[in-house]
A and B are shown apart, each in its own frame.
Chain A
């Protein structure tokens, strides 16, 4: 089997990695780089637990091949905080009580962060639409939506 060598910047750190073509970005992050904040919920594009930023835009990392990320910039949940200061969406989801088991939280944080980057003043409808691809089995979503609204105010 052909092995590809790719260069990818993950959370600001350049990496050179050899990978098989069938490896997804999700597996690259979790298994090769031990960045296990990004979760594997369905491996099928449905749940959003694996959401990361690829060149600034959110993607389901289970639906992207690692080999396609040669030269790309990736941000995972581990890359949201700056110098031990939480990102506003992280602080807000704590303050709003939007975390229960926490499995969906990394994906929710990335999707929310991406929403606020493209639309700093989202309506409730905008927030709901942006989080359609992030399933949460615990919270009932209301506190998550509240958290994004809160984060928008502190941006």
Chain B
């Protein structure tokens, strides 16, 4: 049997709407047949594999606001849907205020793929392994969405429903992601365990962000997000609460890391076993939290 190792894309129609309203309307009117795309790095692969066969691909890269990347010292950062990851990484504002986000983007695939891949595409794809999802959750981002009844905003925390599934309805187009100002004095780290050091999908991904917070009994507030160990990346709330409520020590951090591991529901797959993944979540969470604690301790008190 001949195996076609270089399958072509199946046939489809390319739609380039002039306005957001036109795009939403088209997508809503062809709910089962049309799909929006940005970089196409997920969509094209799935079409080639035969997992997706849309009749219409709707290019949304040129629509209003999707190309903006803008930081405002009062309201935070807004990244348009069409802004590719290399642009995010190179942005001085991202480097200065959200270095964790740049770090997460740098772990995605390769430079040439990131010329196309977007953060919004990574979020809408809702893969358990999405590398930028954790940083977006940790910074409490929310999404700007344009639907058939106009624009609205939704928090990222309630955006994911399951692998490949989000709250988006036919006609909905994510136009941008917005990040509030980062917590004062915070520092973050993304630890991605892949089969090689760069460029592979994660076996486990641990995002951690921490900073001083007088409102927490421990004096610090930490955010954690875990990838590739549940149907979608998620925040282990019990571990975060433990870190907020107990004086920081190596023991507190160890306990929190164990709570993070307990919250996971990983699967066995080609990239790693479930038991291994849980242990790696514990180890990497502990490592990430210790790294942040050390960095915070070295900073002059606010």
Binding site for B on A (CB under 8 A): 1-2, 4, 20-24, 27, 40, 42-45, 48, 51, 54, 57-60, 63-65, 67-68, 111, 114-115, 128-130, 132-134
Q: A44-B48, A48-B110, A68-B59 are in contact. Are A22 and B8 (CB under 8 A)?
A: yes
Residues from chain A with Cβ under 8 Å of B109 in the complex:
45, 133
Interface residue from A22, A40, A48, A67 paired with B6 (Cβ < 8 Å): A40
Give CA–CA (A48, B40) in the complex, Å.
Answer: 16
Interface residue from A20, A45, A58, A129 paired with B41 (Cβ < 8 Å): A45
Binding site for A on B (CB under 8 A): 5-14, 39-41, 44-45, 48, 57, 59, 86, 109-113, 115-116, 198-199
Interface residue from A20, A45, A128 paired with B11 (Cβ < 8 Å): A20
Q: A22-B10, A22-B12, A48-B110 are in contact. Are A57 and B199 (CB under 8 A)?
A: no
The 3 closest A-B pairs by CB, nearest first: A133-B110, A21-B14, A58-B112
Give CA–CA (A63, B113) in the complex, Å.
Answer: 8
Q: Is the CB of B45 within 8 A of A45?
A: yes
Residues from chain B with Cβ under 8 Å of A20 in the complex:
11
Give CA–CA (A111, B199) in the complex, Å.
Answer: 15
**Closest A residue, CB atoms, query B16:** A67
Q: Is the CB of A60 within 8 A of B14?
A: no
Residues from chain A with Cβ under 8 Å of B112 in the complex:
48, 51, 58-60, 111, 133
Extra contacts besides A22-B9, A63-B45, A133-B112 (11): CB < 8 Å: A21-B13, A21-B14, A24-B8, A24-B9, A59-B116, A63-B44, A64-B40, A65-B57, A67-B14, A114-B111, A132-B110
Give CA–CA (A59, B41) in the complex, Å.
Answer: 11
**Closest A residue, CB atoms, query B87:** A57
